Structure 1
C-alpha cells in the first residue's frame, strides 16, 4: 500500500481511529487518577575493603577492585526473604517477606562501590523507613558474610553513605507520561484497526472498487437519502435536490451508450435484493421522460413487484396478462401522472416467471415496444438469486447493475457480471447507490449552485470512447 492509500483509509475510517484513541486515553486516565499513588525513598550504601586504607597505593587499588567485584553480589541480598524478615521485625511492619520484597530494589552504580536501595510505598514516611531499614540490615548482613571464621573484623566495611530521604511527590502514577503513551498507543491501535478493517472490507465503495471488479464503467452514483421511503420518486423533490441531479447525470451518461441505436432497451438489476434497483429504474425512467424522450417502464420483477406501487398505478393488468393474451399491449399501458412516463405493470404474480420471460410472447412484446418508444427501462429481479434478469438482458441492449455502497461486495458484483456473460448479455454499466454525501469519495462534486451531491465520471472522454468501441451483443461497460 502507498501513502495515499493510507491517507484514504484515514479519511474514510477517521471515526474508528478517533474512537479507539479516546477509549485508550480514557482507560489510561481512569487508571492514572484512581490508582493509589506510590512514593519512593532511596538510601545508599558505600562498600569499602579493609585494604582501601593500606600503606601502599597498590594495596588500596586492590582493595577497591575487590569491593567492585563483590558489590553486585551484595545487591542480590535484597531478594532474600530472610533480609526482608529482619526489616519487618525491626520496623514492626504488618507485611509478609514476599510482599515487602516486591516494593524494594537494589541497583549498583556502574564502576562504583555504591548500592542504591529504593523502597516504594503508599506512605512517604513508611517508604523512607523501609529504605533506611533495608540499608542498615543489608550492611549488617554484609559484615556477617564477609567476616572470616575466627576473625572479628570483616573483609569489607559497608556503611550508609546516604540516609533515606522523605519523598514529597509520588513516582507513580505519572499522568503526563501515562496519557502521552495512551495517546500514541490509541493512535497506533486506531490506525491498525482501520487498515485491518479496510483490508477485510470487500464491499464496493469507490470508483476504484468498481474498476478493479468489472470492466463496466461507473455511470452514476446516487446519494443516500433518509427520506427515500416517504419520498421515493424524484418528482417529489426539488429540481436542485442532490438525488434528482444524480439521476439527471445518469440520464446524460446513458446517452453515450450505443449512440447509433434508435431505440434503447436497458435492464436495471442488481446482484442481490435490497440494493435499490427498483427505485433506480423508476426514477431513471421518470428522468428520461422529463427530458422529452418517449420512455416506457416495464415491471418485469414478476416475483416481488414494487414499481407499480411506487408509481401508484394499477398492478392488476400488466406483463403477465399481455403475455397470456388476455389484454393487448396498448390496453395494458398506463401513464404516470405529471411526467408522461408510460408504465407496463407486472400484472398478477405467476408461478413460472422465468418461463414467461424467455417465451416468444415476451420477445414479441419487446419488439412491439421498440416500435413505439425511444427508451425502454426494464425493472428486473436480482441476478444472483434467479435467472430472470439475465434472460431479459440477453433480449435487451444490456443491463445496468445497481450496487449498494458499503453493502454489495466486489465478489457479488463480479458474479453478477459473470451471470450476464453466461447468456452473452452486455453489461452497460454500474450505478453506485446509497453513497454517503461527504467529500473525498471520488464521486462527489460541487460547483456553487447548491448541488450538494452528484456524480460525473472522472474521465468522460474515456467513457465515451469505451461505449463507442462496444457493439450491441458484446459486453458493454457500465
Structure 2
C-alpha cells in the first residue's frame, strides 16, 4: 500500500480509528485515576578524598569518581537495606530495597539517592535513612586496617524533603500517550481490516472481475424508504442517480435493442428489487411503455413495496389460469404496468424455464418498449441465470462494502456459463461524497429565490 492508500483507508474507516483513540484514552483515564499516587524524595552525597596537595587531589578526584558508581550499587545491597529497615518503623528490607534507586551524576562525584512511596513523609524518611547509612557504610569500607581515618568519605549535602506533588501517575502525559497509542492502534486496525476486506468498494474492484461497465452508483439515502412515485418525480440525489442509470443504459450494446432486462444480484439483501422498481418507474419518465414483472417466485417483495394486490400475478399466468392483461396492475399515477408474483409456487425453477414463460416474454416484448424482470439472486438458485438466457441481458446489482469479490465473480461466471449477456452493474449503497452532494444541491436542486432589487424590481438567484 502507498501513502495515499493509507490516507484513503483512514478516511474510509475513520469511525474505527476514532473509536480506538477514545477507547484507549478512556482506559488510560481509568488507570490514571484509580492508580495510587506515588511520591518521590531525593538526597545527594558528595564523595571526596582526604588528599591535600594539588597532584594528589587530582588523583584522588579521579579515584572518587570511579568509586561513585560502586556506591550506587551499594544502595541496592541487602546489607544497606537491613540497616535502613532497622532505622525505620515497621520496615521490611526487601520492600525498602525495591523503593530506592541511586545514580551517579555524570562527570561529577555526586551520588543521588531517590526513594518512592505512597506516603510523602515515608518517602522522605527512606531517602534520608539511606543517605545516612550509606555514609556510615562508606566510612567502614574505606578505612584501612589499623587506621582511624577513611581514605574516601561520603558527605550528605542535600537533606531529603517531603514532596508536595506525586510523580506518578501523570494525567496529561498518560492521556497524551493514550491518544497516540489509540491512533496507532486505530490506523493499524483500519489497515488490517482493509487488507482482509474482500468486499467490492468501487469500479477498480469490479474491473478486475468483469469487463461489464458500471451503469450507476446508487447512494445511501433516506429517500429509498419512500414510495418510488413520490421520490422519483422530485429533484433529489436519489432520483438523479436513477436518471443517470437510465441514461447510461441507452449506450450499452447500442447495436442491439435491449427490450427485456433481468435485474438480479449475487445474494439476497443487495437491493435488486428496489433497483428494478425504481429503474422501471424512471424509464416511464422518458415516455417509454414499461412493464415490471416479478420473477422472484421464492421471496416476492414488490406487492408490499408498491402496495398492490398480491393475490394473483406471474404464477397465475404461468400455470394458465389467467392472461397477462388480467394480472397487470397500473402503479400509482405512473404509466408503469406491474405484474407481481402472486401465489408462491412449489416449483419456481420449472415455471421460469417453461414454455409458458417463454410465451409470456414474447407477448410482453411485442407490447412494451422495455420489460424489467425482477429475478432472484444468482448464487442461491439458478432462476436468474435461466431468465437471463431468454432476456436481452442482465443487470447485476452489487452492494457496496457487502458483496465480496468472490461472490460477484461467481455470479458473473453463472451468467457466462449459460451464455447470458451481462449488460452492466449497479453499485448500491455507495457512500455519498460531500463534493458530489454539494454540487447536486448547490447547482441542480436548489430552488430559485426572489430577492428585492433596488428600483422596485425583483431578481432571481439560486
Bin for the TM-score computed over the shorter chain: 0.7 to 0.9
Distance 1:146 1:445 in 2: 86
Aligned ranges 1:99-110 → 2 under 5 Å: 99-110=95-106
Aligned ranges 1:350-365 → 2 under 5 Å: 350-365=345-360
Quote the residue 1:70 is aligned against: 67
Structure 1 position 448 matched with structure 2 position 445: no
Distance 1:151 1:451 in 2: 103
Q: Give me the TM-score of the superposition, normalised by structure 1.
A: 0.85
1:383 is displaced (CA, Å) by 0.4
Correspondent of 1:95 among 85, 91, 103: 91
Q: Secondary structure of 2:434's match? A: coil
Distance 1:434 1:25 in 2: 33
Q: Secondary structure of 2:381's match? A: coil
1:2 is displaced (CA, Å) by 2.2
Q: CA 1:19–1:348 in structure 2 vs 1: closer, same or farther (change >3 Å)? A: closer
Q: CA 1:430–1:95 in structure 2 vs 1: closer, same or farther (change >3 Å)? A: farther
Distance 1:326 1:28 in 2: 72
Q: CA 1:168–1:321 in structure 2 vs 1: closer, same or farther (change >3 Å)? A: closer
Distance 1:237 1:294 in 2: 17
1:416 is displaced (CA, Å) by 1.2
1:293 is displaced (CA, Å) by 0.4
Q: CA 1:276–1:96 in structure 2 vs 1: closer, same or farther (change >3 Å)? A: same
Quote the residue 1:270 is aligned against: 265
1:281 is displaced (CA, Å) by 0.6
Q: Give me the TM-score of the superposition, normalised by structure 2.
A: 0.88
Quote the residue 1:220 is aligned against: 216
- When structure 1 is superposed on structure 2, of 402-411 and 25-34 the one drifting more is 25-34
Q: Secondary structure of 2:427's match? A: strand
Distance 2:229 2:93 in 1: 80
8 Å CA contact 2:199–2:405 kept in 1: the answer is yes
Q: Secondary structure of 2:130's match? A: helix
Distance 1:18 1:286 in 2: 41
Which ranges in structure 1 are unaligned for 5 or more consecutive residues?
A: 453-478
Distance 1:356 1:142 in 2: 103
Q: Secondary structure of 2:440's match? A: coil
8 Å CA contact 2:20–2:186 kept in 1: the answer is yes
Q: CA 1:12–1:30 in structure 2 vs 1: closer, same or farther (change >3 Å)? A: same
Deviations 1:141-187 (CA, angstroms, capped at 9, x unpaired): 12223334444333322222333244333333333322322222222
Deviations 1:405-457 (CA, angstroms, capped at 9, x unpaired): 232222212221111111121211121223344526x89852524649xxxxx
Structure 1 position 83 matched with structure 2 position 80: yes
Q: Secondary structure of 2:333's match? A: coil
1:56 is displaced (CA, Å) by 6.5
Q: Secondary structure of 1:79's match? A: coil
Distance 1:124 1:300 in 2: 81
Q: Secondary structure of 2:37's match? A: coil
Quote the residue 1:377 is aligned against: 372
Deviations 1:296-343 (CA, angstroms, capped at 9, x unpaired): 111111112222332333444333333333333444433324212122
Correspondent of 1:423 among 401, 410, 418: 418
1:33 is displaced (CA, Å) by 4.2
Quote the residue 1:471 is aligned against: none
1:67 is displaced (CA, Å) by 2.5
Q: CA 1:137–1:263 in structure 2 vs 1: closer, same or farther (change >3 Å)? A: closer
- When structure 1 is superposed on structure 2, of 210-219 and 374-383 the one drifting more is 210-219
Distance 2:23 2:263 in 1: 45
Distance 2:177 2:60 in 1: 46
Q: Secondary structure of 2:401's match? A: coil
1:291 is displaced (CA, Å) by 1.9
Distance 1:153 1:249 in 2: 101
Q: Secondary structure of 1:446's match? A: helix
Quote the residue 1:292 is aligned against: 287
Quote the residue 1:283 is aligned against: 278
Aligned ranges 1:4-403 → 2 under 5 Å: 4-50=4-50, 52-53=51-52, 55=53, 57=55, 59-92=56-89, 94-226=90-222, 228-229=224-225, 231-235=226-230, 239-403=234-398
- Give the length in aligned residue pairs: 446
1:15 is displaced (CA, Å) by 2.2
Q: Secondary structure of 1:187's match? A: helix
Q: Secondary structure of 2:442's match? A: coil
8 Å CA contact 1:263–1:374 kept in 2: the answer is no
Cα RMSD, aligned residues only: 2.6
